[in-house]
Amino acid sequence: AAGVIQSPRHLIKEKRETATLKCYPIPRHDTVYWYQQGPGQDPQFLISFYEKMQSDKGSIPDRFSAQQFSDYHSELNMSSLELGDSALYFCASSFGSNYGYTFGSGTRLTVV
Amino acid sequence: GQQVMQIPQYQHVQEGEDFTTYCNSSTTLSNIQWYKQRPGGHPVFLIQLVKSGEVKKQKRLTFQFGEAKKNSSLHITATQTTDVGTYFCAGLAMGTGGFKTIFGAGTRLFVKA
């Protein structure tokens, strides 16, 4: 069965650079979520989209933005990267909010 | 604000011992989900509980949802080294902006062979 696809798997950027993470949800899932997970931490909710519209916002810094496109894939754009942005970024999708999330394998971002 | 507290933060067990992690919510939940994240992996959905007092089993795993739908537990009988990982609960609750899923901080399970 198709899973949530995230790209790239690994990304190394320098401070103050920008990064774009991509997520392809499971077909027919209408909700996409972005999470940030630091080492040894639980996933922190960043932002979500329902049917291509932003549905909820968590602890997403102003330097970050995200959108969901007409083909339902989503992108997380991160600018003016800081060392503290180094983390695993997960995308998850679900069919509505009343069902389990399917997480992608994540993008490991390292800012040097 | 709404919170889901999960305890313990971590637990070390000898293989064959039982393990339990608990989640408590400050508000009534519509449902609660459990996830397992292996070291270096991503969270994987295990199960969802919806009804008050619901109990579900998956092999050696037993999931319970409290009568008040504010707490839940995951119990693993006779742990194996393959059970190693972090177990997260996630509660769906109604907030001012609509339904929100709130993750607990996770319980990290270490199993010694």
pLDDT at residue A97, rounded to an integer: 66
In angstroms, rounded to a whole number, what is the distance separating the alpha carbons of residues B72 and B89? 8
Compare all CA atoms of chain B with the CA of A105 and give the residue at the minimum distance: B42
Q: Looking at chain B from residue 84 to 113, which residues have their Cβ under 8 Å from any Cβ of chain A?
A: 86, 88, 90, 92, 97-101, 103-106
Distance CA B31, CA B52 (A): 9
Location of structure tokens 């970050």: A64
Nearest to A59 by CA among A31, A87, A26, A40: A87
In this prediction, residue A96 carries a pLDDT of 75
Q: What is the mean pLDDT of residues B43-59?
A: 95
Per-residue pLDDT, B93: 85
Residue type, A67: Q
More confident residue, A100 or B110: B110
CB contact under 8 A, B88 and A105: no
User: What's the CA gap between A100 and B48, in Å, rounded?
Assistant: 7
Q: Is A96 left (phi over 0), alpha (psi -120 to 50) or beta?
A: left
Contact assignment for A101 to B101 by CB distance below 8 Å: yes
Q: How confident is the model at residue B32 (pLDDT cuts 50, 70, 90)?
A: very high
Residues above pLDDT 70, as percent of chain A: 97
Q: Do B30 and A98 touch (CB under 8 A)?
A: yes
> Among B41, B43, B100, whose Cβ lies nearest the Cβ of A43?
B43
Would you say residue B98 has pLDDT above 90?
no
Q: Hey, are the CB atoms on B41 and A90 less than 8 Å from each other?
A: no
To the nearest whole Å, the CA of A106 is away from the closest chain B CA by: 7
Residue-level pLDDT at A110:
97
Residues in chain A with CB shorter than 8 Å from the CB of B86 are: 42
pLDDT given for residue A1 in this prediction: 62
Q: Is the peptide bond before A8 cis (omega within 30 degrees of 0)?
A: yes
Q: Token pair 């000898």 is at which residue?
A: B14
Residue B96, pLDDT above cutoff 80 = no
3-state secondary structure of A83: helix
How far is C-alpha B36 from the chain's CA centre?
8
A43-97, pLDDT tens digit by residue?
899 999 999 899 888 889 999 999 999 999 999 999 999 999 999 999 999 987 6
Of B33, B41, B99, the CB nearest to A100: B33
Nearest residue to A42 via CA among B93, B37, B74: B37
Are the C-beta atoms of residues B67 and B52 closer than 8 Å to each other? yes
Query: Closest Cα to residue A20, out of A34, A32, A30?
Result: A34
Question: What pLDDT shows up at residue B5?
Answer: 94
Q: How far is B113 from chain A (nearest CA, A)?
A: 23
At residue B18, the pLDDT reads 98
Q: What is the mean pLDDT of residues B27-45?
A: 94
**Mean pLDDT score of chain A:** 93
